[in-house]
Amino acid sequence: MSEDTAWLAPVLASGTFRSRYALGAVLGEGAMGLVYAATHLALDRPVAIKFVRPGLLDPVALSRFTREARLAARIVHPNVVVVFDSGQEGEIPYLVPYLVMERVEGPSLRTRLAAGALSLAEALRVASEAARGLAAAHDAGIIHRDVKPENVLLTSSGGVKLADFGIARPISDAPTLTTSGLILGSPAYMSPEQVANRELSASTDQYSLGIVLYEMLCGRPPFSGSTGEILAQHLRDAPPRDLIYRERVPPQAGEVLDRLLDKEPAGRFPSMHAAADALGAAVTQVPAGAATGPIVAPGITTSGRAATLALPRTATGDTPALIGVPTARIQPYRVRRGRVAFALVCALLGAGGLYTRLAHPRVPPPALPSTPAPASEFAAGTVIGNRRSHIYHVIGEDHSTLPHPENRVFFKDIAAAEAEGYRRSKF
């Protein structure tokens, strides 16, 4: 046993625990503790066991863990991880509580997102199923309060399971703050009312699910920066509608997403059941000819047998997206015919270019500087944005360093920049 897991000694020394469960490999690690693969010996059932670290066992932490077991055990739904058992081993200060759950064979949505954004239909389907699980929790009187990709599990059969009600609370409980003043939740996915420590309703989970859906479609959450900056953006800023958003989110899906992400709870769906129905209806509206593969980074395989196919450049010259296409759908004769056509076009273009250079020689233009141009080359008041950070600044008013030329985008005024989802530099 390593030093990192020495705190599990009371569990491993317990004859009661060892007679019931056999531990396997570590499945994950979080702020509260470790999750192990295990087997329930009497039933020969694969399970996952979550252990909480003794260092967190103040009365509040122990109460939260015990509440997670009780609340999660009340939810029975195909889209929610089943809780089978809970217990404690050892004595304070080495007391180790544990929670025995259904083991889901498959990755988390966070792992899947490492390969890039999902297709429109798949993102809407995952969000719809997660919404069904959340609706079951709400029917049981429980708010999840920590909906994020890490807590959405994708089964090997294509299903969706909602996990980890570690900070869940009954709907009748209002506060978001712990007794020490810390905000419970993950900043990137918290609702405005959660950030402001206002009374929570079940619609707070709608907002968090909307952030997850945005990330599934665009490959990143809508807000970024330090924790303080992200929390402030939840309170005041609309999610960016940049080029990626406009290309990936059609109007019908955008309407559902806008409602989930309304800053005011009253502007969202009347219930999570209604949100799930809207997401399901949006899936049926996806055109049959729409791309079904996810946007992925080169060299990443998401299905075990996917190839990458480059799309043409857009009219704005942006780098083309890459879409994972099952190899069985690529016809060999089409590939060969396409390669021949491409070779002929390249040959013709090369011959034409050679003739032009011989017939009309010209003096090459002077080389452009390789370093970013100084701010003095632009007139005061020029609005320049950074394509990567989606931050803009005004020449003569802000003092930020200009982005590299390949990342620059120019706007006619501040209103145009903010309409595209860009935020002004604070420097």
Residues annotated as catalytic (active site), given as ranges: 146
Question: What would the DSSP string read from start to end of 105-141?
Answer: -S-BHHHHHTT-PPPHHHHHHHHHHHHHHHHHHHHTT
Q: How far is it, in rounded angstroms, from Cα 186 to Cα 151?
A: 11
Contacts of 219 (CB under 8 A, 6+ apart): 113, 116, 117, 244, 295
Contact 420, 241 (CB under 8 A): yes
Burial 41-55 (b: 16+ CB within 10 A, else e): eeeeeebbbbbbbbe
Please state the separation of Cα 349 from the chain's center in Å: 43
Instruction: Report d(CA 245, CA 257) in Å as an integer.
Output: 11
CA distance 59 to 129: 35
Q: Beta-strand (E) ranges in 42-181?
A: 45-52, 83-89, 96-102, 142-143, 152-154, 160-162, 169-170
Single-letter amino acid, residue 52: V
**Spatial separation of the C-alpha atoms in residues 111 and 114, rounded to whole Å:** 5
Residues with Cβ < 8 Å from 221, sequence gap 6 or more? 188, 189, 211, 214, 215
